[in-house]
A = this chain, B = another copy of it.
Amino acid sequence: MPLQKMLTFAFSTFLNGILMSASNLNPNVSVDCVVFGFDNEQLNVLLIEQKMQNRNKVQLALPGDLISDDESLDDAAARVLLELTGLQGIYLKQFKAFGNPNRVKDIKDLDWLQSYREQPQARVITIAYYALVKMEEFQASASSFADRVFWQDVEAVPALAFDHNEIFSTAFAQLREGFEQHKTGFELLPEKFTLSQIQRLYEIILGKKLDKRNFRKKILKENLVTPTNQKQKGVLHKPAMLYEINNDENS
């Protein structure tokens, strides 16, 4: 590195040192959250509109933020989710770190970085999480980093900022793997749900039709749900029994 560039670099680092001390953000590491929600029809992912001065340049992105210097990665992900949705105690799983050296160097992302990052040129490694939320409990709210927050059908995710399309695809693949082993997924359902709702969720995520009788046998055998005494009301067909997650110790 030539001397002049080196000194320029050192000086900008010096300035950033002063600027940073206010927010105490770590310029090199962020978390991003792929938040899944299920509305009994389709599977959705939570997207944000990046705040921009110029309303013509709005881009969509996954919610995320630089980590602050005294919080763990899990805490940072929970914070992002809380700021965005007001939800706490959500199922959150770290699934992969993304660290391509050029992942925040694309020209399309320059404006936003310059407006909202104290070190826009910094290389950022992101730790990606996926979260499963009950849409009924969810109340999205604009936040410091988003003008608008909205659900998008996972089958129609548009072009996103940075490498967020890759992060989303990886998250979806991970989710599918979890479902193949029945290790996860009930977090997406409402408090009380019918067996058909679970089946619909499985069919969407696994991307194939399942046999109703076999599916029910299997789910019930796994003992993860128990019937309540309630039934659906106001449906134009035979009302279904409502189930809930089985929190008993003995499986």
Residues of A at the B interface (CB closer than 8 Å) are: 1, 6, 9-11, 13-14, 16-18, 21, 24, 26-29, 67, 69-73, 94, 96-101, 123, 125, 127
Contacts of A71 in B (CB 8 A): 101
Known contacts A101-B69, A127-B125; decide if A9 and B26 are in contact (CB<8 Å).
no
Chain B proximity of A242: nearest CB distance (Å): 34
Let me know if A123 and B69 touch, CB within 8 A.
Answer: yes
A73: contacting residue among B14, B24, B97, CB under 8 A: B97
Contacts of A97 in B (CB 8 A): 73, 94, 97, 127
Contacts of A26 in B (CB 8 A): 28, 123, 125
Chain B minimum-CB-distance residue to A181: B181
Chain B minimum-CB-distance residue to A69: B123
Chain B proximity of A189: nearest CB distance (Å): 25
Contacts of A127 in B (CB 8 A): 97, 99, 125
Let me know if B21 and A1 touch, CB within 8 A.
Answer: yes
Contacts of A123 in B (CB 8 A): 26, 69
User: What's the number of copies of this chain in the assembled complex?
Assistant: 2
Contacts of A17 in B (CB 8 A): 9-11, 13-14
Let me know if A10 and B1 touch, CB within 8 A.
Answer: no
Let me know if B6 and A125 touch, CB within 8 A.
Answer: no
For the complex with contacts A6-B21, A94-B96, 19 further pairs of A-B residues with Cβ separation under 8 Å are: A1-B24, A9-B17, A9-B21, A10-B14, A11-B17, A13-B13, A13-B14, A13-B17, A14-B14, A27-B28, A29-B125, A67-B99, A67-B125, A71-B101, A72-B100, A72-B101, A73-B97, A99-B127, A125-B125
Let me know if A21 and B10 touch, CB within 8 A.
Answer: yes
A18: contacting residue among B10, B69, B125, CB under 8 A: B10
Chain B proximity of A156: nearest CB distance (Å): 29
Known contacts A17-B10, A26-B28, A26-B123; decide if A72 and B94 are in contact (CB<8 Å).
no
A-B contact pairs, 24 of them (CB 8 A): A1-B24, A6-B18, A10-B14, A10-B21, A11-B14, A13-B14, A13-B17, A14-B17, A26-B28, A27-B28, A28-B29, A29-B29, A67-B99, A67-B125, A69-B101, A70-B101, A71-B101, A72-B99, A72-B100, A72-B101, A73-B97, A94-B96, A94-B97, A97-B127
